[in-house]
């Protein structure tokens, strides 16, 4: 990880405070803990969240899965790190739960003659399995902020391929009560918007400007 990269982010809560604030309705506090866990998961320490605390968090997430912290990111905007991780988390969960369907639509999208903007210049479409595994590794804390740009870009490409598999019109998860029902997973058109958001986040991450 580059030593001089200092991402912009709100003030970080201490690990002790983080443990007591889960479920707090204060928007500022909720945003603080969302950013705290997200950046710590990618190995970014500061005066409140040191390397020892980061190691504990990563070990916990690796053992129990990102679900234990992912809900903290659910209200985060797309231009923030927790917002990016939340979208990647939903994408991974949906792909794994409905893998046969997703793989089928991905293959159709790879062969589509009419493709979304951003796919025309691609010389090679990534393997869906590789996209999923890289996103999972990021969410487990096995990668760093240096990997964020690549993972976000690859996920954005995968979303465009999947959208091409439905021509931008198909429904995916139709039950609003489904725990994975979100703009990332409910309509193919929404995948294009999320892909644009991930591309923007990747560019911000490349310059150390992601919040």
pTM, rounded to two decimals: 0.79
Instruction: Read off the pLDDT of residues 126-151 as tens digits, 9 standing for 90 and up.
Output: 999 999 999 999 999 999 999 999 99
Instruction: Read off the pLDDT of residues 74-85 as tens digits, 9 standing for 90 and up.
Output: 999 999 999 999
Domain residue limits, the chain: 27-207
The mean per-residue pLDDT over the stretch 83-104 comes to: 93
Instruction: Read off the pLDDT of residues 172-209 as tens digits, 9 standing for 90 and up.
Output: 455 556 665 555 544 567 888 899 999 999 999 999 89
Residue 17, pLDDT above cutoff 50: no
Residue 22, pLDDT above cutoff 80: no
Which residue has better confidence, 13 or 114? Answer: 114
C-alpha distances (whole Å) from 197 to each of 32, 53, 180, 193 are: 21, 30, 19, 6
């Amino acid at each position: 990880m580059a030593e001089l990269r200092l991402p912009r982010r709100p003030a970080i809560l201490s690990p002790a405070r983080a443990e007591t604030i889960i479920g707090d309705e204060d928007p500022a506090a909720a945003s603080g803990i969302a950013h705290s866990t997200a950046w710590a998961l990618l190995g970014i320490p500061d005066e409140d969240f040191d390397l020892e605390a980061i190691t504990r968090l990563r070990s916990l997430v690796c053992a129990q899965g990102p679900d234990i912290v992912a809900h903290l990111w659910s209200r985060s905007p797309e231009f923030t790190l927790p917002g990016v991780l939340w979208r990647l988390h939903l994408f991974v969960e949906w792909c794994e739960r409905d893998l046969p369907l997703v793989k089928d639509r991905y293959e159709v999208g790879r062969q589509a003659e009419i493709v979304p903007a951003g796919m025309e210049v691609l010389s090679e479409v990534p393997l869906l399995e590789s996209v999923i595994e890289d996103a999972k590794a990021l969410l487990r804390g096995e990668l760093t902020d240096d990997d964020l740009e690549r993972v976000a870009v690859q996920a954005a490409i995968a979303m465009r391929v999947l959208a091409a598999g439905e021509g931008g019109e198909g429904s995916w998860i139709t039950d609003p009560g489904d725990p994975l029902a979100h703009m990332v997973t409910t309509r193919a058109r929404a995948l294009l918007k999320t892909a644009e958001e991930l591309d923007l986040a990747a560019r911000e991450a490349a310059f150390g400007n992601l919040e």
